[in-house]
Structure 1
């Protein structure tokens, strides 16, 4: 039985356009295709964990529009507990226009909408259910005060936390996230959090240890096609990536974090869970879309069995 995971964070509706290139100012270009999907860093991580068999609950807010209704239905369809997903009257749901070029690289805008209404009092309202969880995942697409409050709540109740400090937030107070168990930034986010360079492996480790000096137990730096670097008090380890030809890298970082959470709460083993997460994320970028690219437990086990 995989233990319970909570995600306190965002949801978005992805508006995905395939492009040859971005238009210049004042220029109109025809794009090859468009589709809508479900996204948002919080919801993505929740869906990845749930599809792999974890018991997941989500604390988030949606607008009173068609996007909100479909978001709740999608979470439920993926087996996620939505008792603490609230509708905000008079607010739009979060949306994310995404532009994906021919190489699979993406450019993303986010409009937070109702995500901005997720406040500390909502964490307090969900407190009794959150206390039943062994791990809480957080990101920065909701108000920082809510992130700080949740980390403090989790620390007080002996619950481990994963903070994904994305999108990068210049006003993030690293002193207030020092009680997070795991922090999972990319190189840019790590540089912003520490004020230190992250251009080489040595600089990345130095910056990660600067975060650990502020109280964070473990730093996991995602490196895109180069995998990830795990930094703990005991040392530094590279988590090798899966070598694939990407079709769409959107949501790969969320696939990594959600799948890591699923395996970590089951086994308590850090490095093996990260290695599996790297494979899961690599598999996800071989298909277009965000949540729809995430494999189920059965699909992922079949993928591992094939040795791809």
Structure 2
């Protein structure tokens, strides 16, 4: 478990785990299709759910190894009682910098709170946390601090709680941030296009076995065992649909050499597409129930 999965604590989903997290170890895949991907059977233990939990299932994010995962923003949900298949395709985006755009591959805000590489989503959360620190003198406990000299807002302090609550309401919170933040897109970015399909699992006539592997108190009752798996488990498949990637590149529609009569017309950008075969390497983060993953809910 420790070799293949790394713990990641998310402010919305709690304990999550990242697969293929170690960039010093290459996990290569030379064939496409669900037979050559990652398969997991995850038990969410619905009996442990709180009354306010609305949905049962797991949360999945596909991301680069050096990127901070944000399952609440970019994740996909997979329900219990189904085989959920996620087919991946890789796209590489190349954006244009000045004077056509404001992208940057070297941009990183001051006092950036995440250890991993910069991302626009992380930048907006960083902007919110720094605003909280400046206004309240303490940080939102849901996010990292920029340095050890800073402290988190205390739940025991009425002043801290009130300041954090007022600032969250006034700014819209980090999901609906209304602050002026300098956050830029990277000029080169890998994105994973995901195709989702599902089928009911287990089927009506499927027999898991006499001794139910997941529940010790279910013995010699195949129907009860099958029903437990249908209610509490999610079967996950993640694989590459094809072993190549598509390149999308911005190019200038007009340059400085255009005739003067075009002065005032906005610069036009468009994408060109190239497909290149490649061996892939990415990370998966899974949100799951009390078995070490996090529930598909906001009750942490």
Q: Report the TM-score range of the alignment, normalised by the length of the smaller protein.
A: under 0.3
TM-score, with structure 2 as normaliser: 0.24
> TM-score, structure 1 length as denominator?
0.24
By percentage of residues, which structure has more helix?
A: 1
